[in-house]
């Protein structure tokens, strides 16, 4: 019954979402019932009067869209060549709840090729792809889902070979993380560097190391080669890693570190891992610098990191997720910061980027926008506490960055000029249409995934809306509409 209901809801939202998307590519009105909309806001009034169904944009044009069968269940985004790999947020026996393979070679008409089977009782929201070797890696881990399946047994990496045609994926092997001390190891994020897969564990007090490295140089026999455990120094606090970014040469890892109530970033030396080959002594990972803690503290928990360069100097974008530590646990929510890592033994936060919806003085004004969101079913895939805050990101050129694009949950895709890392400034945005399931109110979609800059376009996923291709157009007349 649950699966039939899910599919029926998908058909309902499909009709409304298409209408909203058609309006969204046309000029949008800037008025919201006479009230000025805050930067990043999807006002409750717009959710009730239908305005939210048209979405919001500035200096962005929608190029293409695929709703992935309106499954309302989209997780992260991987890519290779002109293919997009859209993970399901949750796995199940439902035919829609697995990895969606999309051919985006025609950006105006991205085509769903097929959906690989999902794993019941799992979070499937993480997917990564790489060129060398050509592979796609999906990570699943045990959890309760709205499909009602019992949690899966263990966390697993599903390793796919990719043919010359990037839509052709073949399951080559899998790596089961198993248990430690009789408890399953619950993984969370992974990153690929050549034939090494770095995996984080983000459960405070949970089983397993905060960081593991799996070698897949023998594609049929994945092998655990390194672990890194916290606390890693005398007097250190118990901590976990959430997400990570690897340097181009594989010798450094930049990790978001969580040790409640402290949040920050670690830089680790991974040069032995990068140089390791089978038959050599197992590599070790060491810390490069003390943890850089956010100062002043900001709400939420450390989430993502991404290295980039500007005029040869090295920086890391960091983000916080959620509203932990805020006065009421819901508002304000976390935002982004930039760290200077040129002196990697003394990384320093140099700037912040946040929206008006992330300012404490606006909490009462934005609070109604998420009150009353259903607590069960696909609209509630993320807890109600995840509202207007940063999540994942991408940059246009990691070696000489000018633009960053953030997925900002209910605030959509935010495009930011980072050419001066000390003074990041927003230059455009796209908030997908709200989602209506047949009632009198529509609900904010959640921009969720990593972001790809590709051939002048920008790719990202939203949880309920699916896969989007947009283009930042600068301040051209036909796109400068519906400004905050």
Domain at 360, CATH number:
2.130.10.10
pLDDT for residue 4: 36
Q: For residue 480, tell me if it sits in a domain.
A: no
Q: For residue 404, tell me if it sits in a domain.
A: yes
Binned at pLDDT 50, 70 and 90, residue 35 comes out as low
What is the separation, in whole angstroms, between the first and last Cα of the chain?
A: 43
pLDDT for residue 324: 84
How far apart CA 350 and CA 340 sit, in angstroms, is 7
Q: For residue 483, tell me if it sits in a domain.
A: no
Overall residue count recorded for the chain in this entry: 484
pLDDT in tens, 398-431: 999 999 999 999 999 999 999 999 999 999 999 9
Mean pLDDT computed over 382-389: 72
How far apart CA 185 and CA 154 sit, in angstroms, is 7
What tokens does 391 get?
């999540």
Whole-Å CA distances, 60 to 77, 125, 394, 428 = 20, 26, 16, 6
Whole-Å CA distances, 57 to 88, 115, 223, 271, 430 = 26, 30, 46, 43, 4
Residue 337 has pLDDT above 50, yes or no: yes
Return the bridge partners of 262, or none: 259
Q: 312 is in which domain, residue-wise?
A: 2-472
Contact 293, 382 (CB under 8 A): no
Q: For residue 482, tell me if it sits in a domain.
A: no
Q: For 92, how many CA atoms within 13 A lie in the half-sphere containing its CB?
A: 20
The C-alpha angle with vertex 430 and arms to 426 and 434, in degrees rounded to 5, equals 135
Q: For residue 484, tell me if it sits in a domain.
A: no
pLDDT in tens, 103-122: 999 999 999 999 999 999 99
pLDDT for residue 335: 96
Residue 304 has pLDDT above 80, yes or no: yes
Backbone angles phi, psi at 171, to 5 degrees: -65, 120
pLDDT for residue 70: 96
Q: For residue 270, tell me if it sits in a domain.
A: yes
How far apart CA 332 and CA 452 sit, in angstroms, is 28
How far apart CA 160 and CA 182 sit, in angstroms, is 29
Task: For the chain, give the mean pLDDT.
Answer: 90
Binned at pLDDT 50, 70 and 90, residue 381 comes out as low
Contact 390, 319 (CB under 8 A): yes
How far apart CA 232 and CA 174 sit, in angstroms, is 29
Q: For residue 479, tell me if it sits in a domain.
A: no
Residue 25 has pLDDT above 80, yes or no: no
List the 187-193 sheet strands across, edge first. 187-193, 196-201, 211-215, 223-228
Contact 188, 242 (CB under 8 A): yes
Record the pTM: 0.92
Instruction: Output helix, strand, coil percentages for the chain, rounded to the nearest 5.
Output: 10, 40, 50
Residue 389, preceding peptide bond in cis (omega within 30° of 0): no
Contacts of 15 (CB under 8 A, 6+ apart): none
Q: For the chain, what is the domain count?
A: 1
Q: For residue 100, tell me if it sits in a domain.
A: yes
- DSSP 3-state assignment of 329? coil
pLDDT in tens, 142-159: 999 989 999 999 999 999
Binned at pLDDT 50, 70 and 90, residue 385 comes out as low
């Amino acid at each position: 019954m649950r699966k039939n209901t899910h599919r029926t809801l998908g058909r309902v939202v499909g009709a409304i979402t298409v209408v909203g998307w058609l309006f969204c590519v046309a000029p949008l009105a800037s008025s919201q019932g006479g009230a000025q909309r805050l930067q990043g806001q999807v006002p409750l009034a717009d959710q009730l009067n239908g305005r939210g169904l048209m979405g919001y944009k500035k200096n962005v044009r929608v190029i293409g869209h695929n709703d992935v069968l309106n499954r309302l269940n989209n997780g992260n985004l991987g890519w290779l060549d002109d293919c997009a790999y859209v993970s399901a947020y949750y796995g199940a026996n439902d035919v829609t709840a697995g990895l969606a393979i999309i051919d985006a070679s025609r950006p105006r008409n991205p085509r769903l090729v097929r959906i690989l089977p999902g794993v019941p009782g799992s979070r499937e929201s993480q997917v990564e792809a790489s060129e060398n070797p050509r592979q796609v890696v999906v990570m699943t881990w045990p959890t309760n889902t709205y499909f009602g399946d019992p949690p899966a047994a263990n966390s697993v990496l599903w390793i796919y070979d990719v043919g010359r045609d990037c839509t052709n994926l073949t399951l080559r092997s899998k790596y089961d993380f198993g248990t430690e001390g009789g408890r399953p190891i619950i993984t969370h994020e992974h990153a690929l560097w050549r034939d090494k897969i770095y995996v984080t564990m983000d459960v405070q007090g949970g089983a397993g190391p905060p960081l593991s490295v799996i070698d897949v140089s023998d594609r049929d026999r994945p092998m655990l080669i390194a672990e890194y455990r916290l606390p890693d120094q005398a007097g250190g606090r118990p901590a976990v890693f959430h997400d990570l970014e690897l340097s181009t040469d594989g010798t450094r890892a930049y990790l978001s570190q969580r040790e409640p109530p402290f949040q920050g970033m670690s830089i680790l030396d991974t040069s032995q891992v990068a140089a390791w080959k089978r038959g050599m002594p197992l590599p070790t990972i060491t810390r490069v610098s003390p943890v850089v803690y956010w100062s002043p503290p900001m709400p939420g928990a450390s989430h993502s990191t991404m290295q980039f360069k500007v005029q040869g100097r090295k920086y890391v974008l960091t983000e916080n997720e959620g509203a932990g530590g805020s006065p009421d646990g819901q508002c304000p929510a976390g935002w982004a910061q930039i760290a200077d890592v040129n002196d990697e033994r003394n990384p320093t936060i140099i700037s912040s980027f946040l929206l008006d919806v992330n300012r404490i003085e606006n909490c009462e004004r934005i609070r109604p926008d998420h009150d009353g969101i259903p607590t069960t079913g696909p609209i509630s895939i993320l807890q109600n506490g995840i509202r207007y805050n940063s999540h994942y990101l991408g940059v246009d050129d990691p070696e000489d960055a000018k633009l960053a694009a953030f997925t900002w949950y209910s605030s959509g895709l935010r495009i930011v000029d980072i050419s001066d890392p000390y003074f990041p400034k927003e230059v455009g945005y796209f908030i997908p249409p709200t989602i209506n399931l047949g009632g009198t109110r529509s609900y904010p979609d959640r921009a969720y995934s990593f972001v790809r800059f590709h051939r002048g376009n920008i790719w990202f996923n939203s949880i309920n809306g699916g896969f989007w291709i947009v283009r930042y157009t600068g301040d051209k007349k036909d796109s400068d509409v519906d400004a905050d």
